[in-house]
Structure 1
Amino acid sequence: MNLSYLWYEAARLMTTPARLVVDVARHGLQNPANPLAYSPYARSLAAACEMFERVTRRYGKPSFGFTSVTIDGTSVPVSERVVWERPFYRVITFDRSFLRGPTAPQPKLLIVAPMSGHYATLLRGTVEAMLPDHQVFVTDWADARMVPIGAGRFDLDSYIDYLIDMFRDLGPELHVMAVCQPAVPVLAAVAVMEAQGYAPVPRSITLMGGPIDTRRSPTAVNCVAQERGTAWFERNCITTVPAGYLGVWRSVYPGFFQLSGFMAMNLDRHVNAHAEMFDHLVTGDGDSAEKHREFYDEYLAVMDLTAEFYLQTVKTVFVDHALPRGSMIHRGARVDLGAIRSCAILAIEGENDDISGVGQTQAALDLTPNLPPQRKAYHLQQAVGHYGVFNGSRYRTIIAPRIAGFIRQMGDSEGGGVAISHRPEPDLSGAPA
């Protein structure tokens, strides 16, 4: 029995008193009424207290926090609204209070957030860049430790079922953006819809840094999964949610495991970033320190994944390479990418991506032979890593406009492929969740 979660909780509880004492000390050292507050010694000690408090804290789920967006030079109020909800996730949209309606209908864009340890708010910059010209929806996945075990299972098949439900309920004329991990289930969901005649099929999907075929330019992440196999991950990475959470007794892949892996990949960078923050605090560089806080408040906030979803994803995507090999199964039927004839595909990759190597996402274009060439597009962004594919300055100035242009082009076109017949739609409400 893997007791990692119990040890983690025990360590967190044992450090709580020290964290509280240190935090009180920090406030005392920074109090303007304290004559020592302006001395180099007090600044250094206060900085050390803050670093200790942040390192030992459990970070809660962040919020998107959008209050306004700038459209044509005008600040427009934004409000958040839940439009779709199931036990393991909900769909959020962002309503913009236009003083005058937009001059033309704006495309509907569903952004499918990664279910890989971080919350959907990691895509705050991704969403913000698309808000001015699109009606944006985003998937907000639930933390598995907060979902009661009575809500049932959630695996890769359930994920695809949910996506099909979403596409139909938010359609027609829906465009989809899949960031990293969801590229595989999104592509599979579209293939299932086109093969079985479900309507409406999304007009386009944009796949960003996704592991469609991890045999191409394999990264360290890909190699570890391939070498160790699914059984190793089941033995060493799966544990049970302890008492104190709604999901008690649920088998999960803990978020702190995933975070440890992320941190270990670039440990020197994170160590240097924290050392720099200490210096900023000591020298009183508040702006730089605040940027560090904002980034790590998001980066260190992690969620648990259900064990069945995690293990099925490892096996299907990284060990068996089932989708590119044509052997991926969904609900007993083979996922046939050759069935995709209508939904346009844009593949986007980063030159320096160390999670999904160059060519892994582009594989989606090669695996859909019956989709007309004019409904396929590819963009390789120079000088960005994995995170830069969907966030940062190059995303805002180059990638986001490229996506918006593709969406407009595919929204204006008539499809160029075989029309999808409108057959009776199956009821997926009873599918395992």
Structure 2
Amino acid sequence: MATAQYRTLLEQIVHEGPWTVEETCREFEIRAQQMKESATLSPRQLARWMRGDVGQARAVAQRVAEAFWGHRFEVLLGLPHELAEFELRNGTAAPGLSVDVESLEAAAVMAAHESFEHAARIAGTVDSDDISLLQESVLELARGYQTKPPLQLLTEARHIRNVAYLLLDKTRRPAQTSQLYQVAGQACGLLSVVSFDLARWDAAEEQARSARTYAELIGDAHLEAWSRGTQAVIANWRGQSRRAVDLIASSIDAAPAGASTARLRAIEARAWAELGRPDQVKESLRLADIEMGQSQDSELYSAAGGEFGWGQSRHSACAGTALLTVGQGKPAVTRIQDAIALVPEDPLGGLAPARAQVDLATAELLAGRLDASVNALESVWTIPAPSRRHGVTGRMEQLSHRLTSRDWRDSAEAVDLRDQIEIFNSEAVSRLALPSA
């Protein structure tokens, strides 16, 4: 939707954000509790704010709103296109932003999106060049996934998906329809991972199912296997590890050999680990390693790299996590260290080194080496708050829990590390201060 169609910046943020109005109100009140402020927000009140009808907004509500959305209250109620000018004039750019670089870049990207969407809407026919641009855009977004904050990825992936929808309404050519369904499926797949990174489990599951549906429509076995694997990852993180195993079992026979199947087996190992089945973990990893040895770089989702890739670094990291979960610290350290070492030379990419570093810290702690655990986290602390994905913060929370065990509860260094982790994770809430791009 074009910026001019929004009445306020707040309306733009809410409509382009990951939550419904009701969910936004709940999150607002959670933030108020975290701030120890007595502020509530009803859907009706939020609707008034979104259209600029504030009346006598309480000072406490304004304070929470500014912390929650990352802009001064008068900016939130102003017109979207006035944001950059206002903040440049008043020196109130949102935390973590450089107005003269990042805000202008975001504005340029948004303007390009609006132009492309409008052109797609008014065009009488579907241009093959537009489809090619979408195909490259979604794969480029997958390749650069780890370099962008989640909310920026959310905006860009949704833009690609929406343009694909527009073009699907304008063509009946089977070849074009198939290409556009593939783009829509890939965009939904990325939206699923973004939702996962924001710990929005229901949204992540819905997007993964949508990606799988598009894959089934066009017979894209790679995308179907990738989507099923993503559903299993989500289920595992939600504490539904048995369902994750079942999802893999129902997908494995139809999955292409090589990287696609290796990914499924590695995810299966993670699920068996959560279920406390070390023998099954060992067998799943054995089968995963065999498939990985047979993978071909020419496979679409391997060749695409990034979030669709499954290279040796990501494979080893996933194996290390599974081993770590069942308490096999020494082999876990070996696999995780291999994963980190392989990142620079892995052409497929996809591994977020920070996740592996947290796993390494946990493995070192399991081996009784607190100093090594602290050292492994050195690069993790530098991650900007808006880029702290759930894959990192969730692992940090697990590490913090291990620090409360009898072995470490009386250690001053362990207590300090727990406090540092708590601050690190609490700051991640500020990721919602990011503007739409």
Q: TM-score range by the shorter chain?
A: under 0.3
| Structure showing the higher strand proportion among its residues | 1
| Structure showing the higher helix proportion among its residues | 2
